[in-house]
Structure 1
Amino acid sequence: MRRILVCQLRQIGDVLLATASISLLKRRFPDAEIHVLTEKKCLPMLENNPDVGKVWAIDKGRLNTLFKELAFYWTVARQGYDIVVDFQQLPRCRWVVGLSAAPVRLSYTPEWYNRWLFTHTVKPLDGYSAMAKASVLRPLGIEWNSEPPRLYLTDAERRFAADYLARYGVTEEHRVITVDPTHRRATRRWPARYYAALIAKAAEAHPDLRFLLLYGPGELEDARAVLEACPRPEAVILPDEIISLREMAACIERAVLHIGNCSSPRHIAVALGVPSFIVLGATSPAWTFPAPEHTQVSLGMDCQPCNRNSCEKGYACLEGLSPDVVWEAMQEHMVRCGL
């Protein structure tokens, strides 16, 4: 096998989770050059990855006509791939698969109208999301064996994180916990006032802890709400500017623990070997890496997980999950992780 294409578009966390499969493909076919088709916003999750030979990034701003789109898909498809792996079967992925002449075109079991696109299909296994992706590779003789996603930081990014945290008063006497209190979906966002109360409880028990609030474009107010509601604001770091995804990842790497909602930072923590503790609402536990240093807490309602983006019940699964309950579970996890 000389050249392999992996198709994995949005979201950022999904692309990072696909790196476990990319690593397995490289191990199985060490002489093959592996390309990835993804979206421009997901590029940071693949930078500096030694298993990735080339990334074909879909830039919606540049592909602003049907002709430009089709020309791009044709260029990608005609790179002489021996294997094309499609993890999503989205329309843009299907264009590339359909235009390619790869002798092996692999995906999960498709709807009847997509069957002609693929030479090999398989029903993915249930369980951890990265494992489910990797299970699609079984026709290639590949089995998932607890391989985590991977993110490869540079020395410059690590130096940035050290200087950045020092700028906000973090010294060698402090331990950092990164906190992701944001999510674009209300069904996956634990209330800001609850995060504030949780931080206060943890800071009282461990005065050396400092809590770095993470946020992206349009999310500053969500992060600020945590700081404003926290009885221990001296323990909270709210950056005054947005940093890049990889700079944020470098800050997560310096943390002793990551806590937050089910979003891409939790997968970044796994990829960098940082323990994680996640508050779940609508999301399935299948997004949690199966290892003792990674866990989640939920209210355990009969309707969970619903995987819905809205709720007529007033988000009871999140509003009913009190900071006291979460703090108790978090303390147990910290002890388990030696923190």
Structure 2
Amino acid sequence: MKKILIIQQKMIGDVLTSTMLCAYVKKYLPETEIHYLINENTEGVVVNNPNIDRVVFFKKEYRDSKWAFYLFLKSISKNKYDVVIDVYGKIESALISLFSGANVKISHFKWYSSFIYTHTLKPLRIKHSSMGLAIEHRLQLLKPIVPEFNPAEFPPKIFLTESEILEAKLRLESKGVSFSKPLVMISILGSSEIKSYPLQYMAEVMDAISKKGEVIILFNYMPSQLKLAEELYALCSPELKAKIRFDIFEPSLRSFLGILYHCDALVGNEGGAVNMAKALNVPTFSIFSPWIKKISWETFNANKANMAVHLNDYYQNESMSKKQLKKASQTLYLKFKPSLFTEKLDSFLKTNVFVNN
């Protein structure tokens, strides 16, 4: 039996997206043993995934201590992997690939690390499906080991147990949530300030949702973002606050996923929460940061269940580099008023949330 190590040290959305590699390897090479190397804080999206035989954690201490990292590299060597697929493509993962001793090492081409790998592929620039470039980039890494690879266009999956789903429903019911009303999760913040839609604008988006009919609105944010969540809540009108359940917050990733499973839609900042919703077949309306490429992360948009908006849909900023866009993101966000995408949001809500209105 061959052993394959797939490396994806990054954020939740990246880790979830790259589980598609695990799924396709299992499909085309079913006898393969798959190990998936990820950061510890992203474990929640891979629990119970039948396509992963072992999860290998990259711990914070490996970045803090060169000795700890060296010992980790030695432990990788002992696994005697046959194939390594390095999705992450940074110096850390290049060293892990090198120490693996695998006969086949695959990654995207980078001039400073290409000598480590047996196969390097140049990233695609044009997408060929509704999956989005971020996914197509990853899936092309399978070509050296699955030459006849032909992917179907479906999102990665999160595997919740029946008990997790039931327990989440009971928690909601214990809080007085009525499932006779649509339940909408709002991804109120991105992972950083330059990936977060302005709070005043987000309040306007929620107000537009609330005026469509009876609805229960939940907030998704990290514990470290509580103060910003409170600021957003303070911006809401009394009528809107009456439809927001600010008291419902799940501290763990798995418990959040259980709640998200029961939602009719997720609306808000593009990022990990959007990817998780898609993996649970929850319709999504994503608002992109001005510096993130929509062509890469607008995934599975072939149907009306997944819609997205980007400032470039309304104002072209193609002359600006990625570095310039990041620096100007706050200014650009101010141009990205909710009124620009009112019609598209209305269409999404009518199709997925307020179906009977």
TM above 0.5:
yes
Partner of 2:138: 133
Query: Does 2:245 match 1:237?
Result: yes
**CA distance 1:253–1:70, shift in 2 (3 Å):** same
Post-superposition offset of 1:164? 2.6
1:120, CA displacement in angstroms?
A: 1.2
> Which residue is equivalent to 2:196?
189
Task: Give the SS at the match of 2:144.
Answer: helix
The number of aligned residues is 337
Structure 2 SS opposite 1:36: strand
Q: 1:283 offset after TM fit, Å? A: 1.6
Q: Find the partner of 2:316 among 302, 319, 330.
A: 302
Deviates more, 1:284-293 or 1:46-55: 284-293
Aligned match for 2:267, one of 259, 263, 278: 259
In the alignment, is the contact (CA less than 8 A) between 1:283 and 1:306 conserved in 2? no
**1:155 maps onto 2:162 in alignment:** yes
1:50-76 Cα shifts (integer Å, max 9, x gaps): 000111101224775322221112212
Does the CA-based 8 Å contact 1:9-1:37 persist in structure 2?
yes
Q: Give 1:211 shift.
A: 0.9
Residue aligning to 1:23? 23
The 8 Å contact of residues 249 and 265 in structure 1, kept in 2 or not, is answered as: no
**CA displacement 1:86-109 (0-9 Å, x = unmatched):** 012222212221112211111111
Indicate how the Cα distance of structure 1 residues 195 and 303 shifts in structure 2: closer, same or farther if over 3 A, else same. Answer: same
Q: CA deviation at 1:242?
A: 4.6
Secondary structure at the counterpart of residue 107 of structure 1: strand
Task: Indicate which of 181, 187, 197 corresponds to 1:180.
Answer: 187
After superposition, where does 1:10-49 map in structure 2 within 5 Å?
Answer: 10-49=10-49
Q: CA deviation at 1:146?
A: 1.3
- Kept in 2: contact 1:44–1:245 (CA 8 A): yes
CA contact (8 A) 1:83 1:104 kept: yes
Q: Is the 8 A contact 2:62 2:72 kept in 1?
A: no
Q: Which moved more, 1:17-26 or 1:297-306?
A: 297-306
Q: Which residue of structure 1 lines up, in the alignment, with residue 69 of structure 2?
A: 69
RMSD (Å) for aligned C-alpha atoms: 2.2
Distance 1:219 1:308 in 2: 25
With structure 1 as the length reference, what TM-score do the two structures score? 0.92
Q: Distance in 1 between matches of 2:329 and 2:292?
A: 16
- The residue aligned with 1:120 is 119
- The residue that corresponds to 1:96 in the other structure is 96
Q: CA, structure 1 residues 92+182, in 2 after alignment: closer, same or farther (shift >3 Å)?
A: same
Moved more, 20-29 or 153-162: 153-162
- Indicate the SS of the match to 1:205: coil
Aligned to 2:297: 287
Residue 346 of structure 2 is matched in structure 1 by 331
31-40 or 56-65: bigger deviation: 56-65
Matched, 1:322 2:337: yes
Structure 2: distance between partners of 1:308 and 1:188: 14
Question: SS where residue 113 of structure 2 aligns?
Answer: helix
> Which amino acid in 2 is paired with 1:120?
H
Q: Secondary structure at the match of 1:153?
A: coil
Q: Is the 8 A contact 1:82 1:104 kept in 2?
A: yes
The CA deviation string for residues 109-132 of structure 1, in whole angstroms up to 9 with x for no partner, is 121x32221111112334411222
Say whether the 8 Å CA contact 1:81–1:101 is kept in structure 2. yes
Task: Give the SS at the match of 1:38.
Answer: strand
1:60 is matched with which residue?
60
**Partner of 1:250 in structure 2?**
258
Gaps of 5+ in 2: none
1:276 aligns with 2:276: no
Q: Which residue type is aligned with residue 52 of structure 1?
A: I
Tell me how far 1:80 sits from its aligned partner: 2.0
State the AA in 2 paired with 1:110: K
* Distance in 2 between residues matched to 1:278 and 1:307, nearest whole Å: 20
Q: Which amino acid aligns with 1:283?
A: I
* Partner of residue 212, structure 1: 218
**Does the Cα contact within 8 Å between 1:77 and 1:97 map onto a contact in 2?**
no
Listed as ranges, the gaps of 5+ residues in structure 1 are: none
Distance 1:143 1:122, change over 3 A: farther
Q: Quick check: 1:6–1:86 contact (8 Å CA) kept in 2?
A: yes
- Residue identity (%): 22
1:225 pairs with 2:231: yes
TM-score (norm 2): 0.87
Alpha-carbon distance in structure 1 between the residues aligned to 2:257 and 2:60: 25
Asked whether the 8 Å contact 1:298–1:317 carries over to 2, the reply is: no
